[in-house]
Structure 1
């Protein structure tokens, strides 16, 4: 686990998903070879209380697991 203590403040879940996908693209762009190293990792989106609301696979960021009720 790598925790981002600062995070990104957004207006709604759609903006959070877009921001998360941009972060994943940046991670992948840093080094094509290291893309395999991210296999099995997930980027989790949390609300203001720290509850995970969405989870995106770093393998396939379009594969979103919604944790909303």
Structure 2
């Protein structure tokens, strides 16, 4: 599974055989937030994520946006 970031206790993943829109799965302590990489909008949240952690997950998605898009392009062309 391609990791696109591992930062501040968060791990961001882009999965093969996933679907549009371009997004990242941000994990922290067993919880997952799925975030649109272009708009930074939350698509889904699974588990217990605090508002502070959701904000940080969005910030990390923005920080690693170029890497996320690069990996998506590599996987899906």
Q: Same fold (TM over 0.5)?
A: no
TM-score, scaled to structure 1: 0.29
TM-score, scaled to structure 2: 0.27
